[in-house]
Amino acid sequence: MILQVLAQIPTDGVTAPLVEESTSRLVTPRIPWSYLTPQLILFLGAVIGVALVALLPKRLPKYLSALATVVLAAGTLVSIVPLWGRVGNAREGAISAWSGAIGVDRFGLFVTALICLAVLVTALFADSYLRREGLDGPEFYLLLMTAAFGASIMAISNDLIVLFVGVEILSISSYVLTAMHARRVTSQEAGLKYLVLGGFASAVLLYGLALIYGATGSTNLLQIQVFLSERVLTSDGLLLGGLGLMMAGFGFKVGAAPFHMWTPDVYQGAPTPVSGFMASAVKTAAFAGMIRVFVVGFGSAAELWRPIVFVMAVLSLLVGSIVSVVQSNVKRMLAYSSIAHAGFILLGVHSATERGTSAALFYLASYTAMALGSFGIVALAARRGEHLQKLSDLRGFATAHPGLALAFALLLFAQSGVPLTGGFIAKLGVIGAAVDQGDWALAVVAMITAVISTFMYLRIIVSMFFVGGGDHGEEPAGFEGPPVNVSWTSMVGLGIVVVATLFLGILPGTVKHWSNQAVVEMVRDSGR
């Protein structure tokens, strides 16, 4: 039956025929390089970086790699600004290139900008972290660049194969980054765990992709969209199987329950700046891919996949908030809270509207800032060897380091959704998008779990600020262990995320406006 439907695929439209009759020369796609500047900067930065590391003498100044990464990430951000105008105006508009394999639109640019910000702040935190742990070297930063390159490919992919290549570039870089702390067994273990489970998830994603190709006759999202809107499938088993498997693959990559099992272990074991990078950039890219594929590509089949997202969102919210409360390790707490945040963002995906997409993007923007900052502070507070990451190790942190504790408290309050912070506006956005579609149940679950996870954030804050003698009248314990050294680069990174969190909360208008404009536009490849 599917074969009969396939036979009706129009051969005119979407792509040009592969071989022209008159000559033997193949019709090759033209590539608008200028639209790919952000990706090119990241890619060439990584490749040239690898070559330079090989050719230059080993004794280079230690700050050079971090500096180069910050400069390249900032350069990528700057290169997005003119593109934002170009793909937004009516005359030029969004483009599709490489035979429709990639689509440059404001959605992709917004996500790429978030990823670059994550790279920039991660590099700032990583500089002093890596030196403290005796791991300094250019490899960390090179992997950060390749991960960002893969992530930005995911953000602009218009084809499931290109999306998968992006996922793999990002994933393989993050596996290595996770295992980067060569002297901690937990880091090695987390890297191996992430590699095995991540490879499995990639295989599931690929299998779903193959089934979707079988069901719709194309891997191109635009062609899939056209195919699904033009006909009614008499048998949709193959499509359902493909959608389910792809959703499982994406669910793993974003760390949503019930595919979240790896998240706490990997976030705990990974070098802490890498945990922050995974919570921000990797999550952002995976959600970007999810939105491109499901909300846009399978937009007309939304009723097929929305129930899956519903279950994933409810489970993520419940698991993330409830299990985080009973954790004793701060990194694990933040990992579970990132599962809960994934649940909130799934609210925006579930609504399957432009409002939901823009709310999800705003949420990702504010969570990027909050996650990077929180993990950055934990990296500092855990001190050399990352031995002190228990909740009890933070006791008295506020008296020893009032500034850091205040910033941490602010970021945690923002994550719980206190007004005047980015987290509040973000939560308001996704819950509003859900209510807009009449999903009251989902909105109620989200609000209840927000209250539950607030308890967990308060546990961390209480342990930092209130040095009590305990319940049984013990001696109040002060801040123990070696002093926390805060380098000026970490201060700059922390400053960026704190200012961003407050800015998103007090004056959300600008970013809200950008996220509203950042819609996915799928256009045909005009060969421009």
Partner 1 sequence: MGQYLPILALGILATLFALISLIASRLLNPGRPNDAKNAPYECGIVDQVAPPERFPVRFYLVAMIFIVFDIEIIFLYPFTAVYRELGSFGLVSVIEFAVAVFASFLYVVANGALDWGPLKQVRRSGMMVTPSRTSTSTIRRVGQEGREVHVGDEGVAA
| Residues engaged in binding partner 1 (CB under 8 A) | 24-26, 28-31, 47-48, 50-51, 53-55, 134, 137, 182-186, 188-190, 193, 265, 268-269, 329, 384-385, 387-388
**Would you say 53 or 304 has its CB closer to partner 1?**
53
Distance CA 128, CA 122 (A): 11
Which DSSP state fits 279?
A: I
Phi, psi of 227 (to 5 degrees): -60, -45
How far apart are CB 183 and partner 1 at their closest, in Å? 5
**Would you say 24 or 89 has its CB closer to partner 1?**
24
How far apart are CB 506 and partner 1 at their closest, in Å? 39
Q: Which amino acid is located at 322 in the chain? A: I
How far apart are CB 333 and partner 1 at their closest, in Å? 13
One-letter-per-residue 3-state SS of 146-191: HHHHHHHHHHHECEHHHHHHHHHHHHHHHHHHHCCCCCCHHHHHHH
Longest dimension (CA), the chain: 92
Q: Which amino acid is located at 457 in the chain? A: Y
| Partners of residue 104 on adjacent β-strands | 95
How far apart are CB 90 and partner 1 at their closest, in Å? 30
**Would you say 86 or 390 has its CB closer to partner 1?**
390
Which DSSP state fits 329?
A: B
How far apart are CB 265 and partner 1 at their closest, in Å? 5
Contact 265, 329 (CB under 8 A): no
**Would you say 242 or 269 has its CB closer to partner 1?**
269
- Residue 151's SS3 state is helix
Phi, psi of 470 (to 5 degrees): 80, 180
**Would you say 46 or 114 has its CB closer to partner 1?**
46
Residues counted in the chain? 528
Which DSSP state fits 384?
A: G
HSE, side-chain direction, 13 A CA sphere, residue 215: 25
How far apart are CB 175 and partner 1 at their closest, in Å? 14
**Would you say 172 or 369 has its CB closer to partner 1?**
172
21 Cβ neighbours under 8 A, 6+ residues apart: none
How far apart are CB 68 and partner 1 at their closest, in Å? 15
Contact 105, 83 (CB under 8 A): no
**Would you say 99 or 122 has its CB closer to partner 1?**
99
How far apart are CB 415 and partner 1 at their closest, in Å? 23
How far apart are CB 118 and partner 1 at their closest, in Å? 23
- Residue 103's SS3 state is strand
**Would you say 191 or 429 has its CB closer to partner 1?**
191
Contact 140, 197 (CB under 8 A): no
**Would you say 66 or 288 has its CB closer to partner 1?**
66
Q: Which amino acid is located at 393 in the chain? A: D
How far apart are CB 72 and partner 1 at their closest, in Å? 16
**Would you say 268 or 351 has its CB closer to partner 1?**
268
Distance CA 177, CA 144 (A): 8
Q: What's the first-to-final CA gap in the chain, in angstroms?
A: 38
